[in-house]
């Protein structure tokens, strides 16, 4: 049953409003929401992480991670949120702009469950001067099921010198 262009206004009113524009707008909103959700939560491109340089590998002996603790609590969405806190000391003679660690979480059988590389020193916090100690806090909001609830292995993954 098609639309008759010769209907009077009152006859068209009796047939009801044309819902096509509403349907098109709703479909557009749904598509835009799906696109935003996919961009935000969809697969992320793999980032090739640079290996530790020989210079950085030699300097690791001058870094000390101390007072490292882990705490866990439920966040607002009833998900387990884990925080690793500690201190890093620069016992060497060079200024460090960035220090990154890889946190390796394991399951109950010791298999790697999650490996995440995070900065503990960066330029925004002023780097790390020789002889200086700074605190760090590493939040992890999405812990996978099967995690053994143990402190992850912390491995110095990158050092950027000034």
Please write the tens of the pLDDT for every residue from 35-71. 777 777 766 554 456 678 899 999 999 999 999 999 9
Q: What is the mean pLDDT of residues 31-35?
A: 80
pLDDT reported for residue 68: 96
14 vs 79 pLDDT, higher one: 79
Tell me which H or E stretch contains 38.
helix 20-41
- What does the DSSP assignment read for 75-139? -TTS-EEEEEEEEEEE-SSS-EEEEEEEEEEEBTTS-EEEEEEEEEE-GGGT-B-TT-EEEEEEE
What residue segments make up the domains of the chain, in order of their start?
A: 54-161
Residue percentage of the chain with pLDDT more than 70: 84
Torsion of CA 53, 54, 55, 59, to 10 degrees: 100
pLDDT of 12 above 80: no
CATH number for the domain running over 54-161:
2.60.40
**Residue 102: other Cβ atoms inside 10 A:** 17
pLDDT reported for residue 20: 76
């Amino acid at each position: 049953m098609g639309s008759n262009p010769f209907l009077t206004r009152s006859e068209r009113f009796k047939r009801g409003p044309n819902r096509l524009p509403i349907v098109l707008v709703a479909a557009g909103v749904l598509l835009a929401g799906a696109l935003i959700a996919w961009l935000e939560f969809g697969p992320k491109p793999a980032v090739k992480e640079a290996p530790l340089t020989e210079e950085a590998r030699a300097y690791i002996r001058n870094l000390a991670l101390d007072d490292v603790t882990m705490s866990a609590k439920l966040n607002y969405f009833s998900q387990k949120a884990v925080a690793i806190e500690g201190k890093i000391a620069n016992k060497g003679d060079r200024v460090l702009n960035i220090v990154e660690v890889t946190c390796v979480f394991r399951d109950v059988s010791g298999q790697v469950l999650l490996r995440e590389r995070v900065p503990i020193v960066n330029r925004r916090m002023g780097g790390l001067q020789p002889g200086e100690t700074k605190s760090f806090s590493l939040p992890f909001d999405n812990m996978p099921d099967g995690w053994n609830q143990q402190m992850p292995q912390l491995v110095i993954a990158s050092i950027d010198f000034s």
